[in-house]
Amino acid sequence: MDVKNNIILAMDVPNINDAMELMDKISDYIDTVKIGYPLVLAEGLESVSKIKKEYNCRVICDFKVADIPATNKKIADVTFQSGADAIIVHGFVGWDSVESCLESAKKVDKDIFLLTEMSHPGATNFMQPVSMNIASMGMEIGITHYVGPSTRLDRLKMIRDVVGKDSFIISPGVGVQGGDPRETLQFADAIIVGRSIYLSENPANSLESIIDAIEL
């Protein structure tokens, strides 16, 4: 998956009007958007379809799917029916739950991103001790796309070492959480940026600043 400027927008805004207004300002800079629960719970999966169609962009649905295999499959199926190109899936629930999402994705030529470790401080409590096991499991069942934290570069490097150079890693935590864009891209293929852009008075200028930091 190629990502324009190596930047994915985390579209965690509360309504479709705010989302469309933001995309009007920055769609020239990005071609991939991560949409999570805030927008979808407020506006429905139609928000995925609308943004994808209007801006001809890829959409990754950040639903952090974590249920039994049968339920995971239903969630993945309806997500891909909405037009999503990929869905983010938790790995701690085990191989069978993850494989159910992978099978759903393969049927429609889409992708899943396996979440190995999150970027917030609390992730060290329970996720960090098992994140490398999750990454290893992903490799064993044939997953090629992963999520790892920009806020802990040592951990991100370890994840890269486990999944190898041919896997595609996206990394949240750049900006407000403290992750550095250029340093993160030493180990990840794309960074995920949200609040630094959508809370900015000038989102386009903020994006340009991030691009400049990457290209230094």
Catalytic residues: 64
User: Of 114, 121, 116, nearest to 144 (Cα)?
Assistant: 114
DSSP annotation string for 137-175: HHHHTT--EEE--SS-HHHHHHHHHHH-TTSEEEEE-BS
Query: ∠ CA(87), CA(21), CA(24), 5° rounding?
Result: 85
Q: Which residue has the tokens 């099978």?
A: 103
Report the distance separating Cα 29 and Cα 39, nearest Å.
Answer: 21
CA dihedral sign of residues 59, 67, 162, 192: positive
Alpha helices in the chain (DSSP H): 16-26, 37-43, 46-55, 69-81, 95-107, 123-126, 131-140, 153-163, 181-184, 195-198, 203-215
